[in-house]
Amino acid sequence: MSKILVLPGDGIGQEIIAQTLKVIDYLNANHALNMTLVHGLVGGTAYDKTGSPLPQSTIDAAHQCDSILLGAVGGYQWETLKRDLRPERGLLSLRSEMDLFANLRPAILYPQLAKASTLKAEIVSGLDLIIVRELVSGIYFGQPRGIEMRNGQRYGFNSATYFESEIERIGHSAFQIAQKRNKRVCSVDKANVLEVCELWREVMVKIAKNYPDVELTHMYVDNAAMQLVKAPKQFDVIVTSNLFGDVLSDCAAMLTGSIGMLPSASVNQDGFGMYEPIHGSAPDIAGQNLANPLATILSLAMMLKYSLNQADFAEKITVAINDVLDQGYRTQDIASDDNKIVGTKEMGDLVVEALKN
Ligand code: NAD
């Protein structure tokens, strides 16, 4: 039995989570998924109801659950609030409250959607890689940092720092994820220039000994960027630091060309994770039954695989989504001329229907 905190958030978050709940309800009722749901508030909707984008009740509920399923946060009406009260702050605080240090960003391109990519279909069709990015340390957090006067001119500086233990824990996450996939980890660094990366590489080599079934390779970040565009299907799991992961994961996501299809997760040491689509609250299409719910339904599949050890259910959901795409159904964001265009709710219903096969 698993207990999940459901946080729809704002904008299309409400609509796409509603479709994901249909999938959970179906699997609970017909396939003994055994998932209990707790509902909570986050983002602008939480601010409107409680005065905070992350109410204490949501934090308490998160600590009592096995994982979080999140829609998205944000919207024009909250953009003028003080920074601490903005919807996005709720999300960042929740990540740090739960110590979600590993960000998992898959880039998956269903063969049926190969035309959506800007790359040639044969380069990307069937792409399935995952980037494991360190999320709470590295140059974004390192000290000292600042802008000051030196030698009569302004001087800006940041520090790329990692403790060995921080590299170890992200490394363990990457190897364990690889064990559930194709058993290959590529560690991306810049060890030819940066000492912090020399340490990164040494630690990766050290912990690889705990995972003899997983192959470890290394790549410099400049080459990794090139290879992602040239031959992305060579990768299984990429593990990298906060800064490199930030850049490479957006690049990898764009290989697929469809923001409405990509799930993501941020997980902690205990396997607790927050699972969410990579896209935002899309205020431009909110409330119009236009949003693609598949990234959120795939976030549920990711949760089942990586946090709840229920890979069979994850597979079932993925197969159902493939079925729906095979039948030619698309939401408007991923449609081309010969498709049958459906709305958010209809797409949710079609996935549930496909689960019955
Ligand atoms: P966005 O991802 O919300 O939207 C970008 C574009 O993609 C829009 O044209 C939108 O209509 C489209 N789109 C996004 N998701 C889609 C879906 N599921 N189906 C169909 N089309 C989809 O990014 P944005 O417009 O830059 O930001 C909007 C709000 O979302 C902002 O307030 C921003 O801060 C917030 N945001 C939140 C998260 C999050 O909750 N994790 C992430 C990014 C942005």
Q: Does one domain contain both 335 and 249?
A: no
What integer pLDDT is reported at residue 96 of this predicted model?
A: 86
Domain end position, chosen among 216, 240, 261: 261
Q: Does one domain contain both 121 and 29?
A: no
Q: Are 281 and 10 in contact (CB under 8 A)?
A: yes
Cα 13 to ligand 1 centre (Å): 10
Q: Give 26's contacts (C-beta < 8 A, 6+ positions apart).
A: 352, 355
Output the average pLDDT for the chain.
Answer: 95
Q: Ramachandran region of residue 2, left (φ > 0), alpha (ψ -120 to 50) or beta?
A: beta
| Ligand 1 pocket mutation, candidates 281, 341, 346, criterion most atoms within 8 A of CB | 281
Between strands 263-267 and 102-108, the pairing is antiparallel
Ligand 1 proximity of 20 Cβ (cutoff 6 Å): no
Q: Are 37 and 71 in contact (CB under 8 A)?
A: no
Atom of ligand 1 nearest to the CA of 13: 40
Q: What is the mean pLDDT of residues 274-282?
A: 95
Q: What is the mean pLDDT of residues 208-235?
A: 97
Closest Cα to residue 134, out of 241, 207, 59, 37?
Answer: 241
Query: Rounded to whole angstroms, how far apart are CA atoms 300 and 37?
Result: 13
> Does position 257 have pLDDT exceeding 80, yes or no?
no
Query: Rounded to whole angstroms, how far apart are CA atoms 245 and 268?
Result: 17
pLDDT greater at residue 205 or residue 109: 205
What integer pLDDT is reported at residue 258 of this predicted model?
A: 80
Confidence label for 111 from pLDDT (cuts 50, 70 and 90): confident
Q: Are 94 and 59 in contact (CB under 8 A)?
A: yes
Ligand 1 proximity of 291 Cβ (cutoff 6 Å): yes
Domain end position, chosen among 197, 226, 261: 261
> Does position 215 have pLDDT exceeding 90, yes or no?
yes
Q: Is the pTM of this model over 0.75?
A: yes
Q: Are 35 and 52 in contact (CB under 8 A)?
A: no
Backbone angles phi, psi at 288, to 5 degrees: -115, 10
Give me the domain span that covers residue 25.
1-101+268-357
Q: What is the mean pLDDT of residues 105-123?
A: 89
Q: Does one domain contain both 355 and 315?
A: yes
| pLDDT digit string, tens, across residues 44-86 | 999 999 999 999 999 999 999 999 999 999 999 999 999 899 9
The residue written with tokens 């906060």 in the block is: 242
> Does position 247 have pLDDT exceeding 90, yes or no?
yes
Q: What is the mean pLDDT of residues 122-128?
A: 91
Q: Is 10 a catalytic residue?
A: no
Q: Does one domain contain both 122 and 77?
A: no
Q: What is the mean pLDDT of residues 174-191?
A: 96
Q: Is 250 a catalytic residue?
A: yes
Query: Which of 48, 60, 84, 222 is an active site residue?
Result: 222
CATH code, domain with 158: 3.40.718.10
Q: Does one domain contain both 34 and 136?
A: no
Q: Is 140 a catalytic residue?
A: yes
Tokens representing residue 263 in the block: 């799930």
Lowest-confidence region among 116-125, 182-191, 314-323: 116-125
Q: Does one domain contain both 240 and 124?
A: yes
Backbone angles phi, psi at 40, to 5 degrees: -145, 180
Q: Is 128 a catalytic residue?
A: no
Q: Where are the strands (E) in 146-236, listed by range? A: 146-150, 153-157, 184-189, 215-220
Domain end position, chosen among 261, 282, 310: 261
